[in-house]
Amino acid sequence: MSDHNRDSADDFDTVQNAFETHRHSSEAGQDSSDGQNSADHDQHASQSTSGAVVPSGDSLPERIYLLPIHNRPFFPAQVQPLIIQRQRWEETMKRVGNTPHHMVGVAFVGDVSMEALSPDSFPEIGTAVKVHRHQSEEQQIQFIAQGVRRFRIHRWLSKTPPYLVEVSYPREPVDAEAEEARAYAMSLINGIKELLPINPLYGEELKSYLNRFSPHEPGPLTDFAAAITSAKGRELQSVLETLPIMDRMQKVLPLLRKEIEVAQLQNQISEQVNSQMQERQREFFLREQLKVIQKELGISKDDRESDVDTFRDRLESLQVPERVQGRIDDELGKLSVLETGSPEYGTTRNYLDWLTSLPWGITSEDQLDLKRARGVLDRDHDGLGDVKERIIEFLAEGSFKGDVGGSIVLLVGPPGVGKTSVGRSIADALGRKFYRFSVGGMRDEAEIKGHRRTYIGAMPGKLVQALKEVEVENPVIMLDEIDKMGQSFQGDPASALLEVLDPEQNVDFLDHYLDVRLDLSKVLFVCTANQLDTIPPALLDRMEQIRLSGYIAEEKVAIAKHHLWPKLLKRDRIPKKRINLTDAALKQVIEGYAREAGVRQLEKQLHRIVRKAAVKMLEQHQETVKVSVNNLEEFLGAPLFRKEKVLKGVGVVTGLAWTAMGGATLPIEATKVHALTRGFKLTGKLGEVMQESANIAYSYTLGHLGEYGADADFFNEAFVHLHVPEGATPKDGPSAGVTMTTALMSLAKSQNIDRPLAMTGELTLTGQVLPVGGIREKVIAARRSEIFELILPEANQRDYNELPDYLKAGMTVHFAQVYRDVAKVVFGR
């Protein structure tokens, strides 16, 4: 069904006359002869309406065809177009056209779909309407419906389309209290008149239509008032079904008042929006006029002059190199002649904005006080004694030179050992600005050296952005995760860093966007990496390496007490006294739940304790929560790590290995499978290097059994299986040759190692013990497993001697130059 609409003022006046005739005439219709067919009626509809087109109450049809409407009910006081589906209701409209009265009943069915429509879907009361100006189109039928009278359905004559029903026309009883009815009628008229000025939907036609109503005839007035509201369909149907006039007016009047309030609110919102728009337009015009007046008087500048002056003001406090100043002057000259709306103006302005925002000649003064530097490092970090010494040496050297610029420090170590925080502490110790960005996963060299200005959206590289943000030429810039850079078709960022990190080249660093030389020699670069294997050798050669090997249990206890635990309590705003974590429980957390080289996992476990304790304090209303060894599992569950037992037996030897996560103990097992044939089998997810070490160990053992008191023919008929446990963990590296040889020798001699002993070193075919790396990590791993006797290559004695005393305390270390030295320690020869 369509919304309220009118074809023309003439058609509306015609319908009004018909409605007026219906109200005052009691005569029978004069235009509906039995012999007139529907075609004649359509042709002469406008002429016939000049008379009484609506039959009187006595001649209203007793049988009437029925149409459903969905949006809202139709009232007797309404005149509006209706649109129906042609395919479904064409037959109904043909039959209506063939009737002498040309009337059809319309009834509100709500949301019921056409497919689900049935006689039960129709209400008992609907409205009989007169059909005018019937027109058929391709998919729909349109006609003007003139409401006549309410009807009540008594009997269904046809329960399928076209629906035909037998109806009666109930009278509308008028309340005896005429004065109250007149008062309600006047309220309705006033409400309608109040609604018309504030709602543009109702025009002059409705005003003239309203003038035809009278307070003495409240029925049509009440129906008209209900029809112009936007109430819901069910509410309007309730009004339609209310026959007593007083009851009906009592229902309609609140709907009309609500409609007035909504219209007033909409009008108010519209006025506010229009007022704001007018104020902005007025402000815009006034500003434009002010600009013109100020320009005429010479007391203001346009945008172009303002930009040029801004850039020149910035340069006054800078010491710009001569070659850069020449470029800036050229660009300023270009900017002064370009139109502000041109794309080139925006590009030139952005370029000058970057050039004049860099801290040319501005540096911060270094604080090279070693005592203060030690205090900062000790405040921020526990342990790392050798790392702190390297940093102090580095600063002491800078105090003689006068500055520490031009140096590139590489901090290497497992995750969570504090590489990033050490870099920040270096900046604090020097009193320099600190800027950090991660190069991990970086694939585009433009991130380092910038984009060329010819590209849309071009920007300088990260280094130029860093200098702009810190506003000095000598900050500490940290390049995090330098071992995780990638390559792509967009270039190789690791190669782009070669110029940045070379003290001989970064004096004249060239950013593609700036296209002027930039001095990075005053910058202190601090890089971090987990391992060195993935760093290009040319890049690695430009950096000074400082290793952070990880922490032993005692260091972790100190870190947890002084840093991690206070930080967690402060972050969660929990008073320190409310959670009591005992030293024994803290040590158990470290040994049973956080054995990694760093302290990140330890912090996570401590955070779990804080969360569990918070739950206890809130739910159980405990003032304090004590965490001890006895109840630790309530907070963290079963320990992730049990106390490792050193494997013992014939052919079983404990080795020491280095991984990116720190040091680890590596048990190696050798056993004789059978004596049916000679053979050698390797298992344990071994890489190529360890497989080569195993083959060398097997060959050396096979050729020297007699020298070490074993049966020289042992392997001639023995099938030997050498296994390196630890599940599916990949293992590779040149440090297990001595351990594998000892395992095979123990098997051939049928002699086990009777004490906790670990070893590391690579072996040659002639029995030479070669040096290996990661001595610190391996010593820490041995202490963690409570192994205090080690065999190390003699060439690594210097590395061991450089270890801090607390790592060497209680350790017995044997240094081997050849395998005979190893056998003497292990087997007593």
HEC string of 97-147?
HCCCCCEEEEEECCCCCCCCCCHHHCCCEEEEEEEEEEEECCCEEEEEEEE
Is 778 among the catalytic positions? yes
CA distance 621 to 616: 7
Place of tokens 């949301």: 111
Alpha helices in 418-530 (DSSP H): 419-430, 446-449, 462-470, 493-500
Distance spanning both ends of the chain, measured CA to CA: 109
CA distance 205 to 438: 74
CA distances from 165 to 43, 153, 325, 698 (A): 28, 7, 97, 107
- Partnered with residue 409 across adjacent β-strands are 526, 544
Region class of 637: left (phi > 0), else alpha (psi between -120 and 50), else beta: left
Bond before 119 cis per omega within 30 degrees? no
Q: Which residues contact 636 (CB under 8 A, 6 or more apart)?
A: 589, 593, 605, 608, 609
Question: Of these residues, 449, 731, 749, 778, which one is catalytic?
Answer: 778
Amino acid at 299: I
Q: Following DSSP, what letter does each residue of 213-282 receive, concatenated?
A: --TT-HHHHHHHHHHTS---HHHHHHHHH--SHHHHHHHHHHHHHHHHHHHHHHHHHHHHHHHHHHHHHH
Under 8 Å between Cβ of 461 and 449: yes
Is 735 among the catalytic positions? yes
Question: What's the token pair of residue 526?
Answer: 């601090």
Question: Of these residues, 735, 746, 749, 785, which one is catalytic?
Answer: 735
Region class of 733: left (phi > 0), else alpha (psi between -120 and 50), else beta: left
The CA-based angle 71-75-81, given to 5 degrees, is: 65
Under 8 Å between Cβ of 582 and 620: no
Question: What's the token pair of residue 36?
Answer: 């007139």
Strand 652-659 and strand 679-683: the pairing is: unpaired
Question: What's the token pair of residue 459?
Answer: 């920007």
The DSSP output letter for 564 is I
Which positions are annotated as active-site residues? 735, 778
